[in-house]
């Protein structure tokens, strides 16, 4: 009997190992097929099929980023919503005809042939979107507008933004905002900036010129060559690190046309290689939120590829990957005042680049800033799961190995990445991290890190919480267990 039992156990073990081998093999095959397909898709791109460039607005506090964004968005809203500007999820989408009609006056002189399908402007101005919007290792923004206050010149955050843009190699346009503050400025509402400058008196022009050249000098000190964009020669355009300056007024709208047209020109002239639409799905979670009548929804930004209703999508959560069927793809109605739940527009499929709300089951724990992938007919689920989790696993691998360290919680994966890098490299001495999380801080997180007290390192019984809410129960628990919670909105 004993021998029989032993043999049976041995058989079972062999069978299990065989199954494991098979699974691993299938996963490898799936990966190979997927990479080949991705390669083929990359090869199939063409210059005739471009996607919308994704634009982000950066700059110092109070330079007028949000005003400029509103101005860019609202040109045409008065004439009714037919303007073709739709408020996307987390981004504003301009159709091609809108771009054409908004830049018509300027284009009479510029004669620029637009072949972009539109433009997508990310709604969160500033750093956050830049660090948070990552998509499988690349940042999600193609081109940026750096807003500089003409009256104050470069300020601290402007310089930080500059460094960020240059490190990533993102091309950008500088908006010299607040021209309407120049002495005795005559307002020419929503006109191209050169037309507006023709109307000004000599004194106003002199002030404008001297301030603009100051800004140019300050940029030069930061190592940025720039020039007012219509004074740039052809060799400046071809020289990749030359930055165009556009004088604008976010209040009265002069120069807004110029910015739009300039962004399109940069996208078409310099970025067409990375703007070729590609069938590989490139999709990032912006945020997860509960909506009445729809349950938990996930807002995503689809950069490339398709998302379709009924797709099996793989999302990334702290408890590992989950596979969920996409039950609905929604975009808000064109007029943005409506927050009525029935008024979302349903789509059968979405082609990048667009922002969209995804409905599905069990999406509560999906984390912002993580990638989304779809299981195709030829794909192996296990391979896709591993791929989706790869960004997070990379972070977890870098955590302190001796299990001693603080707990870090951030609002998105991108922010968490930036934060861990900051603690590891820019703090002297570096702060060890033993646990990470994304989203709200719960009681269980407090309990988890309180072990540090028992391990004899009470200084590590600490949670660094960036831009995330803390539950009341968690706070109470923290007081009982001697855990400190530090909160901050920015790093």
Residue range 371-407, pLDDT digits in tens: 888 888 877 888 888 888 887 787 777 776 567 888 9
Rg (CA), the chain: 26
Give pLDDT, residue 83. Answer: 43
**Which tens digit of pLDDT belongs to each residue from 196-214?**
888 888 888 899 889 889 9
Average pLDDT over residues 306-324: 88
What is the DSSP annotation of 346-395?
EESEEESSEEEEEE-SS-TTBPTT-B-EE--TT--HHHHHHHHHHHHHHH
Q: Which residues partner with 175 through β-bridges?
A: 147, 246
pLDDT of residue 341: 47
Residue 125, pLDDT above cutoff 80: no
Band (pLDDT 50/70/90 cuts) for residue 128 is low
Q: What is the pLDDT of residue 87?
A: 57
Is the pLDDT score of 132 beyond 60? no
The least confident of 79-83, 101-105, 436-440 is 79-83
pLDDT band, very low/low/confident/very high, at 137 (cuts 50, 70, 90): very low
CA distance 37 to 44: 10
pTM, 2 dp? 0.74
The yes-or-no verdict on residue 274 having pLDDT over 70 is yes
Residue with tokens 């604008």: 248
d(CA 288, CA 269): 36
What is the pLDDT, as a whole number, of residue 338? 39
pLDDT at residue 349 greater than cutoff 60: yes
Q: What is the mean pLDDT of residues 53-59?
A: 82
Say if residue 113 is exposed, middle or buried (CB neighbours under 10 Å; 0-12, 13-18, 19+): exposed
The neighbouring-strand residues paired with 119 are 94
pLDDT bucket at 85, cuts 50 / 70 / 90? low
- Range with top average pLDDT, 286-290, 324-328, 454-458: 324-328
Stretch among 241-250, 300-309, 327-336, 468-477 having the lowest mean pLDDT = 327-336
Taking only the tens place, the pLDDT of each residue in 222-267 is: 888 888 888 776 666 666 667 888 888 888 888 888 888 888 888 8
How far apart (Å, rounded) are the C-alpha atoms in residues 151 and 141? Answer: 28
**pLDDT band for position 80 (50/70/90)?**
very low
């Amino acid at each position: 009997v004993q021998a029989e039992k032993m043999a049976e156990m041995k058989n079972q073990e062999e069978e299990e190992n065989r199954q494991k081998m098979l699974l691993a093999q299938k996963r490898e095959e799936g990966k190979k097929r997927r990479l080949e397909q991705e390669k083929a898709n990359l090869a199939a791109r063409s210059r005739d099929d471009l996607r919308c460039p994704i634009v982000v607005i950066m700059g110092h506090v109070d330079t007028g980023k949000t005003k400029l964004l509103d101005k860019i968005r609202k040109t045409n809203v008065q004439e009714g919503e037919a303007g073709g500007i739709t408020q996307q999820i987390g981004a504003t989408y301009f159709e091609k005809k809108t771009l054409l009609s908004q830049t018509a006056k300027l284009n009479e002189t510029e004669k620029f042939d637009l072949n972009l399908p539109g433009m997508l402007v990310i709604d969160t101005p500033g750093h956050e979107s830049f660090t948070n919007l990552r998509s499988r290792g690349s940042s999600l923004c193609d081109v940026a507008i750096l807003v500089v206050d003409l009256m104050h010149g470069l300020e601290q955050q402007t310089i930080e933004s500059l460094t960020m843009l240059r490190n990533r190699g993102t091309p950008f346009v500088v908006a010299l905002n607040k021209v309407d503050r120049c002495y005795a400025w005559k307002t020419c509402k929503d006109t191209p900036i050169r037309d507006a400058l023709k109307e000004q008196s000599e004194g106003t022009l002199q002030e404008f010129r001297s301030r603009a050249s100051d800004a140019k000098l300050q940029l030069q000190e930061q190592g940025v060559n720039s020039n007012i964009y219509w004074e740039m020669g052809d060799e400046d355009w071809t020289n990749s690190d030359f930055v165009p300056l556009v004088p604008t007024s976010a209040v009265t709208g002069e120069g807004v046309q110029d910015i739009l047209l300039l962004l399109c020109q940069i996208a078409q002239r310099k970025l067409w290689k990375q703007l070729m639409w590609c069938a590989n799905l490139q999709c990032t979670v912006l945020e997860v939120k509960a909506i009445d009548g729809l349950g938990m929804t996930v807002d995503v930004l689809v950069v490339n590829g398709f998302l379709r209703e009924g797709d099996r999508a793989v999302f990334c959560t702290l408890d590992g990957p989950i596979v969920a069927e996409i039950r609905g793809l929604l975009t808000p109605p064109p007029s943005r005042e409506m927050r009525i739940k029935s008024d979302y527009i349903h789509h059968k499929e979405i082609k990048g680049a667009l922002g969209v709300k995804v409905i599905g089951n069990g999406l509560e724990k999906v984390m912002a800033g993580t990638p989304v992938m779809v299981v195709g007919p030829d794909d192996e689920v296990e391979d896709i799961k591993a791929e989706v989790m790869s960004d997070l696993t990379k972070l977890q691998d870098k955590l302190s190995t001796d299990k001693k360290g603080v707990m870090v919680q951030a609002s998105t994966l991108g922010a968490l990445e930036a934060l861990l890098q900051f603690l590891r490299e820019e703090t002297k001495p570096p702060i060890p991290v033993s646990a990470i999380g994304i989203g709200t801080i719960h009681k269980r997180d407090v309990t988890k890190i309180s072990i540090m007290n028992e391990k004899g390192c009470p200084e590590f019984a600490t949670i660094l919480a960036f831009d995330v809410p803390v539950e009341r129960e968690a706070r109470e628990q923290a007081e009982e267990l001697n855990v400190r919670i530090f909160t901050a909105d920015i790093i």
